Chain A
Amino acid sequence: MSPKTLYDKIWDAHVVHEAEDGTCLLYIDRHLVHEVTSPQAFEGLRMTGRKVRAPEKTIAVPDHNVPTTPGRDKHIDNEESRIQVEALDKNAKDFGINYYPVSDIRQGIVHIVGPEQGWTLPGMTVVCGDSHTATHGAFGALAHGIGTSEVEHVLATQTLIQKKSKNMKVEITGSLRPGVTAKDITLSVIGETGTAGGTGYVIEYCGQAIRELSMEGRMTVCNMAIEGGARAGLIAPDEKTFAYVMGRPHAPKGAKWEAALAWWKTLYSDEGAHFDKVVTIRGEDIAPVVTWGTSPEDVLPITGVVPDPESFTGGKVEAARRSLDYMGLKPGQKLTDIKIDTVFIGSCTNGRIEDLRAAAAILKGKKIKDGMRAMVVPGSGLVRAQAEEEGLAQIFIDAGFEWRLAGCSMCLAMNPDQLSPGERCAATSNRNFEGRQGRGGRTHLLSPAMAAAAAVTGHLTDVREFMAETV
Chain B
Amino acid sequence: MDKFTTLTGIAAPMPLVNIDTDMIIPKQFLKTIQRSGLGKNLFDEMRYTQDGAEIPDFVLNQPAYRKAEILVAGDNFGCGSSREHAPWALLDFGIRCVISTSFADIFFNNCFKNGILPIVLPQDQVAVLMEDAKKGANARITVDLEAQTVTSSDGQSFHFDVDPFRKHCLLNGLDDIGLTLEKAASIDAYEKTAATVRPWV
Give the B-binding residues of A (Cβ under 8 A): 13, 16-17, 19, 21, 23, 25, 27, 29, 36-37, 39-40, 43, 48, 50, 53, 57, 64-65, 78, 80-81, 83-84, 87, 121, 123-124, 129-131, 144-150, 152-153, 156-159, 161, 163, 195-196, 199-200, 229-231, 252, 256-257, 259-260, 263, 295, 314-316, 318-319, 322, 412-414, 421, 431, 433-436, 439-440
10 contacts between A and B (CB under 8 A): A16-B186, A16-B190, A19-B165, A39-B33, A87-B33, A144-B106, A156-B180, A196-B76, A435-B22, A435-B23
State the Cβ distance, A407 to closest chain B Cβ, in Å: 14
CA distance A36 to B198 in the complex (A): 32
Interface string of B153-187 (1 = CB under 8 A from A): 00000000001110000000000110011011011
Which residue of A121, A256, A412 contacts B27 across the interface (Cβ within 8 Å)? A412
Question: For residue B184, which residues in chain A have a CB less than 8 angstroms away from its CB?
Answer: 157
B15 CB–A CB distance under 8 Å: yes
B84 CB–A CB distance under 8 Å: yes
Stretch of B5-13, B61-69, B109-117, B141-149 that contacts chain A: B109-117
CA distance A447 to B106 in the complex (A): 26
Which residue of A13, A259, A295 contacts B199 across the interface (Cβ within 8 Å)? A259
Considering only CB atoms, which chain A residue lies closest to B46 in the complex? Answer: A434
Cross-chain contact B165 with A256 (CB below 8 angstroms): no
Across the A-B interface, the 6 shortest Cβ-Cβ residue pairs: A252-B200, A80-B31, A149-B113, A315-B17, A39-B33, A147-B110
Cross-chain contact B190 with A413 (CB below 8 angstroms): no
Cross-chain contact A146 with B45 (CB below 8 angstroms): no
State the Cβ distance, B82 to closest chain A Cβ, in Å: 4
B75 CB–A CB distance under 8 Å: yes
Question: For residue A50, which residues in chain B have a CB less than 8 angstroms away from its CB?
Answer: 177
Cross-chain contact B180 with A159 (CB below 8 angstroms): yes
Considering only CB atoms, which chain A residue lies closest to B87 in the complex? Answer: A147
Cross-chain contact A146 with B22 (CB below 8 angstroms): no
State the Cβ distance, B119 to closest chain A Cβ, in Å: 16
Cross-chain contact B17 with A37 (CB below 8 angstroms): no
Cross-chain contact B199 with A37 (CB below 8 angstroms): no
Question: For residue A440, which residues in chain B have a CB less than 8 angstroms away from its CB?
Answer: 50
CA distance A200 to B22 in the complex (A): 21
Most buried by A among B30, B114, B186: B30
Cross-chain contact B82 with A43 (CB below 8 angstroms): no
Do A196 and B33 contact each other (CB < 8 Å), given the known contacts A146-B106, A414-B28?
no
Give the A-binding residues of B (Cβ under 8 A): 15-18, 20, 22-23, 26-28, 30-35, 45, 50, 74-76, 79-84, 87, 102-106, 109-110, 113-114, 163-165, 176-177, 180-181, 183-184, 186-187, 190-191, 194, 198-201
Question: For residue A29, which residues in chain B have a CB less than 8 angstroms away from its CB?
Answer: 201
CA distance A204 to B105 in the complex (A): 17
Most buried by A among B27, B33, B82: B82
Cross-chain contact A80 with B32 (CB below 8 angstroms): yes
Cross-chain contact B80 with A431 (CB below 8 angstroms): yes
Cross-chain contact B181 with A157 (CB below 8 angstroms): yes
Question: For residue A158, which residues in chain B have a CB less than 8 angstroms away from its CB?
Answer: 187, 191
State the Cβ distance, A291 to closest chain B Cβ, in Å: 13
Question: For residue A36, which residues in chain B have a CB less than 8 angstroms away from its CB?
Answer: 30-31, 83
Question: For residue B180, which residues in chain A have a CB less than 8 angstroms away from its CB?
Answer: 25, 153, 156-157, 159, 161
Which residue of B33, B105, B113, B177 contacts A83 across the interface (Cβ within 8 Å)? B33
CA distance A80 to B33 in the complex (A): 9
State the Cβ distance, B148 to closest chain A Cβ, in Å: 15
Question: For residue A83, which residues in chain B have a CB less than 8 angstroms away from its CB?
Answer: 31, 33
Question: For residue B30, which residues in chain A have a CB less than 8 angstroms away from its CB?
Answer: 36-37, 64, 414
CA distance A450 to B8 in the complex (A): 52
CA distance A247 to B195 in the complex (A): 21
Do A414 and B31 contact each other (CB < 8 Å), given the known contacts A159-B180, A229-B104?
yes
Q: Given known contacts A16-B183, A36-B83, A149-B114, what 5 new A-B pairs fall within 8 Å (CB)?
A: A131-B81, A148-B35, A158-B187, A199-B102, A199-B105
